[in-house]
């Protein structure tokens, strides 16, 4: 049964893979957010222009507020006005709507609320407790308000919701931004419920599986095949929900973008809330990541170097899942920490994102709108605009080491898999080796000669067949931890039963400052290295390497040396960085320091190799070499 499901999932993933696509405005956004009340469209667009915003988010939630869920006309007019004004200014605008959350203002006083009028629509714990909350449960819920979370299987609610989506699309707005389309598992007391067990959801699960969700599952037991089906069902539910939103919106406006906002990334939280970035990317136009993980600081000002490296792993994964679609990052730089400079924190956050090819969204604290420092926003956005092609042109691999992201392994063995996966990728970043994150959707297109399986415990027959052919072509497969491939150790299949990726992650967590990539030299020897691009740099600089369509070989550097969360946001500049390119094209290269101007560099040639000595790297930089004239 499990094997059959894995085959089906892989086939569906391949079928859903996005084809080659042209870039558009969504790939180049520099986002700022604004509350939209009506009558303020001109002011919003003017303020956006003045601070360099390209891609204006407006908060005017129709389905997430019960009053406008029932009567949307006033808000629709405001959305239409801001869309028209943005287009006059050669800008783009997208509007916020809630996913399954709905708030009724003054719910303690009004006779009509979502919960009072439609109690059967609400998500519920297995014990029957409805997802109803009041002021103080979350910072956005005011005292006296009623906050509820609706089942996506409530048919009448979904019918009205999709009608509102079509009406919003009809205003001419450029995008619909869907905030946290989740199962309710993230408020206190709901974390381990694996909700929802409302009648509509239970019936839908039974129709698909013939199982009774209330009695046939061992909740939280990933060895239980029936619970695994519940996990898969919950993820598929919100993938289908977002696809439904996208199709309804595009039925009215084919060019409109659908953008979900979610905080889970590659970690276990994704399967709890049911919004998985890996499955969502094929059915939407972009994802806005309010990316959080573990106990790391949510603010840039709070992060230590290991937090930053893990952050890079998440963003590189998102870019791999996106397959050319945009990755927007709604994270926060600073929130009143008097020991840490605001501007330095903003720069660190922006630098870390653009070096990975993600789009920067400036926001203060935990608010979507506004800025911690408008002059710094303007400076950052102006610099990004000037160099946007450098960061946002499609990036393709050269001679990468592949690292496999197995969504099924993550779903059912999250802790061990993520530790191994992160450890391998951080090791490659610190050793400055080119890597490519490979997924079930991109496996068939992988052209590298070495592929790492980081404690991958679940493989379908389709995946196993591909891996056998990969090895038969004299490529190298490096298997760490569990060997789910069925392949015996050989010159082409290198086994590490005690996972070095997980060991490296644990060592970094114990003592990041003194843990060296050399501690995993046996693994590094098994991986090999490319002669196409070689980088010499200190290990606390994270690097990534790619080719762009303009013929450039690009090396991206993010320096996290010396950062201390809560006390020091200023890096120690790193000297002695060298890049060696195998090429006969020329001896000229270029470096673009973060927020600085482009500088030409002259390389030293040695036969077919040319070596460039880079100036000291402060926060970050991009080096490029024109390999094609």
Contact (CB, 8 A) for 273 and 312 = no
Give the pLDDT mean for 310-329.
Answer: 98
In a domain, 428, yes or no: yes
From 487, 504, 527, the end of a domain falls on 527
611 vs 548, 551, 586, 621, CA distance in Å? Answer: 20, 18, 11, 17
Q: What is the pLDDT of residue 367?
A: 84
Contact (CB, 8 A) for 12 and 243 = no
CATH no. for residue 571?
Answer: 2.60.40.1180
Give the pLDDT mean for 266-279.
Answer: 97
Residue 20 has pLDDT above 70, yes or no: no
SS3 578: strand
From 482, 499, 527, the end of a domain falls on 527
Quick: pLDDT tens for 471-493: 999 999 999 999 999 999 999 99
Same domain for 519 and 427: yes
Residue 452 has pLDDT above 90, yes or no: yes
In a domain, 571, yes or no: yes
**Percent of the chain with pLDDT strictly greater than 90:** 91
Residue 494 has pLDDT above 70, yes or no: yes
The alpha-helical segments, DSSP class H, found in 89-222 are 114-117, 155-169, 199-209
In a domain, 617, yes or no: yes
Q: What is the pLDDT of residue 365?
A: 82
Same domain for 504 and 425: yes
Same domain for 549 and 610: yes
Q: What is the pLDDT of residue 628?
A: 66
CA distance 401 to 436: 6
In a domain, 573, yes or no: yes
Question: DSSP class of residue 119?
Answer: G
Domain count, the chain: 2
Q: What is the pLDDT of residue 211?
A: 98
Residue 390 has pLDDT above 90, yes or no: yes
In a domain, 250, yes or no: no
The alpha-helical segments, DSSP class H, found in 516-569 are 521-527
Q: What is the pLDDT of residue 583?
A: 94
Same domain for 504 and 554: no
Q: What is the pLDDT of residue 627?
A: 78
Is residue 7 very low, low, confident or very high in pLDDT (cuts 50, 70, 90)?
Answer: very low
Quick: pLDDT tens for 156-166: 999 999 999 99
Residue 5 has pLDDT above 70, yes or no: no
Q: What is the pLDDT of residue 295?
A: 76
Q: What is the pLDDT of residue 4?
A: 39
Same domain for 512 and 604: no
Same domain for 521 and 543: no
The alpha-helical segments, DSSP class H, found in 210-276 are 225-252, 269-273
Same domain for 460 and 514: yes
In a domain, 151, yes or no: no
Quick: pLDDT tens for 551-594: 999 999 999 999 999 999 999 999 999 999 999 988 999 999 99
In a domain, 155, yes or no: no
Give the pLDDT mean for 118-129.
Answer: 98
Residue 371: both structure tokens together? 């800025």
User: Residue 295 CB: number of other CB atoms within 10 A?
Assistant: 7
Q: What is the pLDDT of residue 21?
A: 66
Contact (CB, 8 A) for 382 and 362 = no
CA distance 411 to 580: 40
From 511, 527, 543, the end of a domain falls on 527
Of 6-20, 45-59, 432-446, 460-474, give the lowest mean pLDDT range. Answer: 6-20
Q: What is the pLDDT of residue 15?
A: 39
User: Residue 112 CB: number of other CB atoms within 10 A?
Assistant: 11
Same domain for 492 and 462: yes
Quick: pLDDT tens for 322-367: 999 999 999 999 998 889 999 999 999 999 999 999 999 989 887 8
In a domain, 390, yes or no: no
Residue 38 has pLDDT above 50, yes or no: yes
CATH no. for residue 502?
Answer: 3.40.50
Same domain for 580 and 472: no
Q: What is the pLDDT of residue 340?
A: 95
Same domain for 495 and 423: yes
Enclosing domain of residue 447: 401-527
Same domain for 539 and 523: no
Same domain for 561 and 454: no
For the chain, percent helix, then strand, then coil, each to nearest 5? 40, 20, 40
């Amino acid at each position: 049964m499990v094997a059959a499901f894995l085959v089906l999932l892989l086939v569906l993933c391949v079928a859903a893979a996005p084809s080659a696509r042209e870039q558009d405005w969504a790939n180049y956004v520099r986002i700022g957010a604004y509350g939209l009340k009506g009558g303020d469209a001109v002011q919003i667009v003017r303020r956006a222009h003045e601070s360099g915003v390209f891609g204006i988010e407006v908060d005017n939630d129709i389905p997430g507020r019960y009053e406008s869920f029932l009567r949307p006309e006033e808000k629709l007019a405001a959305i239409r006005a801001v869309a028209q004004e943005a287009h006059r200014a050669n800008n783009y605008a997208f509007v916020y709507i809630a996913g399954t959350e709905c708030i009724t203002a003054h719910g303690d006083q009004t006779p009509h609320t979502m919960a009072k009028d439609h109690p059967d629509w609400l998500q519920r714990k297995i014990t029957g407790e409805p997802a109803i909350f009041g002021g103080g449960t979350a910072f956005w819920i005011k005292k006296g308000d009623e906050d509820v979370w609706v089942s996506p299987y409530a048919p009448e609610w979904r019918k009205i919701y999709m009608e509102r989506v079509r009406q919003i699309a009809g205003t001419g707005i450029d995008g619909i931004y869907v905030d946290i389309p989740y199962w309710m598992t993230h408020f206190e007391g709901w974390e381990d419920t694996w909700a929802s067990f409302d009648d509509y959801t239970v019936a839908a699960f039974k129709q698909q599986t013939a199982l009774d969700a209330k009695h046939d599952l061992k909740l939280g037991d990933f060895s239980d095949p029936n619970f695994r089906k519940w996990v898969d069902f919950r993820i598929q539910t919100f993938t289908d929900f977002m696809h439904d939103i996208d199709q309804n919106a595009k039925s009215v406006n084919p060019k409109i973008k659908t953008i979900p906002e979610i905080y889970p990334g590659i970690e276990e939280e994704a399967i709890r809330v049911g919004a998985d970035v890996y499955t969502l990317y094929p059915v939407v136009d972009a994802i806005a990541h309010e990316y959080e993980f573990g106990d790391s600081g949510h603010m840039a000002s709070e992060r230590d170097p290991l937090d930053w490296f893990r952050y890079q792993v998440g963003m590189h994964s998102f870019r791999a899942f996106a397959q050319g679609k945009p990755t927007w990052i709604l994270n926060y730089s600073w929130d009143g920490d008097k020991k840490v400079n605001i501007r330095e924190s903003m720069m660190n956050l922006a630098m870390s994102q653009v070096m990975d090819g993600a789009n920067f969204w400036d926001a203060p604290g935990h608010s979507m709108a506004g800025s911690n420092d408008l002059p710094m926003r303007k400076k950052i956005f102006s610099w990004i605009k000037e160099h946007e092609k450098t960061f946002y042109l499609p990036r393709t691999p050269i001679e990468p080491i592949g690292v496999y992201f197995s969504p099924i392994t993550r779903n059912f063995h999250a802790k061990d898999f993520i530790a191994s996966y992160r450890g391998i990728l951080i090791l490659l970043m610190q050793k400055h080796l080119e890597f490519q994150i490979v997924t079930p959707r991109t496996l068939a297109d992988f052209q590298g000669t070495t592929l790492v399986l980081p404690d991958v415990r679940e493989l379908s027959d389709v995946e196993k067949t591909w891996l056998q052919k990969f090895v038969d072509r004299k490529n190298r497969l490096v298997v760490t931890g569990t060997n789910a491939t069925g392949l015996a150790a050989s010159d082409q299949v290198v086994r590490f039963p005690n996972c070095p990726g997980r060991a490296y992650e644990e060592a970094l967590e114990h003592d990041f400052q003194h843990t060296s990539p050399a501690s995993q030299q046996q693994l590094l020897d098994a991986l090999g290295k490319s002669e196409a691009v070689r980088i010499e740099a200190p290990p606390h600089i994270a690097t990534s390497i790619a080719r762009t369509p303009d013929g450039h070989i690009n090396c991206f550097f993010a320096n996290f040396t010396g950062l201390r969360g809560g006390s020091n946001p200023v890096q120690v500049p790193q000297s002695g960085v060298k890049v060696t390119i195998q090429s006969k094209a020329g001896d000229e290269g270029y470096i673009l320091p973060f927020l600085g101007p482009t500088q030409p560099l002259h390389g030293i040639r040695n036969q077919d190799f040319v070596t460039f000595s880079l100036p000291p790297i402060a926060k970050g930089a991009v080096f490029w070499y024109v390999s094609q004239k």
